[in-house]
């Protein structure tokens, strides 16, 4: 990987930032290894894992699972951190990041989202959203049907091929296939949590931090529709398209995606540090 550290220098005396990166469904903290390496010691990097990962264990089943339940771990990390944090999310992790940002809007320095799967918003997007919603409901049902009848491997293969493209499952190492087969009973909970969020874009108007929304050139219809719509919901947002990438761009096109995220973070930090120094000089 190209070393991007010299491209984004930190000014002398600048405080270290905290970066929280949330992975997609079926992945884990290792998804963000390259980003963590590229950022290096200039930040405190945290990549918590969702329910269903080996390190976290299954959802407790105490009540119907919600996106707030998944976001709770991230919110706790934000609450335990001094200063504002930079929040990153891919796919399901993007949906979780949005929920955490709405719970702690004043604590988020920047938000970076790659095809966040905020599927509930498709209900607000007319006929275009209805087509995308029908598509995501179909893959959700297919996955849940596979889980309910015990065909975990088949459900995982169908899930991976939808998001990664035909043949994506067969291209995975056997160990990765085995890990996804263990994980896939969590997938229906992820879909349901995303779909059951309140279908309103009004809360996003209160998220005034700089927001970077990214999508792949070959994004599937549901996340394509969301990525195109989301920048219009935030007061300070922009869209970046990653050429040649699909939904799994943070893995298949990691250098390009990480470069965009790093620029977004360090441009915002540089501005905040300049403003802080100017304020001190005025006192």
* The dihedral sign for the CA sequence 173, 175, 178, 184: negative
Rg (CA), the chain: 19
Alpha-carbon torsion, ordered 172, 21, 268, 279, to 10 deg? -170
Name the nearest CA neighbour of 248 among 279, 217, 275.
217
Query: How many C-beta atoms lie closer than 10 Å to residue 283's C-beta?
Result: 4
Query: What does the pLDDT read at residue 16?
Result: 63
Query: What does the pLDDT read at residue 3?
Result: 35
Average pLDDT by stretches of 10, the chain with 283 residues = 38 65 97 95 93 94 97 97 95 98 96 97 95 98 98 98 97 97 98 93 89 98 97 96 98 97 90 50 45
Query: What does the pLDDT read at residue 272?
Result: 57
3-state SS string over 65-84?
Answer: CCHHHHHHHHHHHHHCCCCC
Query: What does the pLDDT read at residue 9?
Result: 43
Give the span between the Cα atoms of 108 and 93, in whole angstroms.
Answer: 16
Beta bridge partners of 237: 211
Query: What does the pLDDT read at residue 274?
Result: 54
0.75 exceeded by pTM: yes
Query: What does the pLDDT read at residue 98?
Result: 97
Give the span between the Cα atoms of 196 and 148, in whole angstroms.
Answer: 20
3-class secondary structure, 113: strand
Q: Which domains does the chain have, with CATH numbers?
A: 16-125+200-282 (3.40.50.1820)
Assign residue 220 a region (left: φ > 0; alpha: ψ between -120 and 50; beta: otherwise): beta
């Amino acid at each position: 990987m190209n070393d991007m550290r010299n491209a984004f220098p930190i000014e002398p005396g600048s405080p270290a930032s905290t970066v929280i990166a949330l992975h997609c469904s079926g992945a884990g903290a290792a998804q963000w290894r390259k980003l963590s390496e590229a950022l290096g010691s200039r930040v405190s990097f945290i990549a918590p894992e969702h329910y269903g990962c080996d390190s976290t264990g299954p959802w407790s089943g105490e009540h119907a699972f919600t996106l707030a339940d998944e976001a709770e771990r991230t919110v706790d990390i934000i609450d335990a951190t001094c200063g504002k944090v930079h929040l990153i999310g891919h796919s399901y992790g993007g949906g979780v990041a949005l929920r955490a940002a709405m719970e702690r809007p004043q604590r988020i320095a920047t938000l970076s989202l790659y095809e966040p799967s905020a599927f509930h918003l498709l209900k607000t997007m007319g006929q275009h959203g209805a087509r995308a919603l029908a598509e995501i409901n179909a893959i959700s049902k297919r996955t849940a049907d596979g889980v309910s009848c015990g065909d975990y491997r088949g459900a995982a293969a169908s899930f991976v091929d939808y998001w990664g493209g035909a043949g994506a499952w067969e291209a995975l190492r056997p160990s990765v296939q085995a890990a996804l087969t263990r994980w896939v009973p969590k997938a229906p909970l992820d879909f349901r949590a995303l779909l059951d969020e309140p279908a309103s874009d009004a809360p996003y108007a209160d998220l005034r931090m700089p927001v970077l929304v990214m999508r792949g050139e070959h994004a599937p219809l549901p996340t394509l529709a969301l990525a195109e719509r989301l920048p219009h919901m935030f007061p300070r947002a922009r869209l970046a398209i990653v050429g040649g990438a699909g939904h799994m761009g943070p893995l298949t096109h990691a250098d390009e995606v990480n470069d965009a995220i790093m620029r977004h973070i360090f441009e915002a930090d540089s501005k905040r540090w300049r403003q802080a120094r100017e304020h001190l000089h005025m006192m």
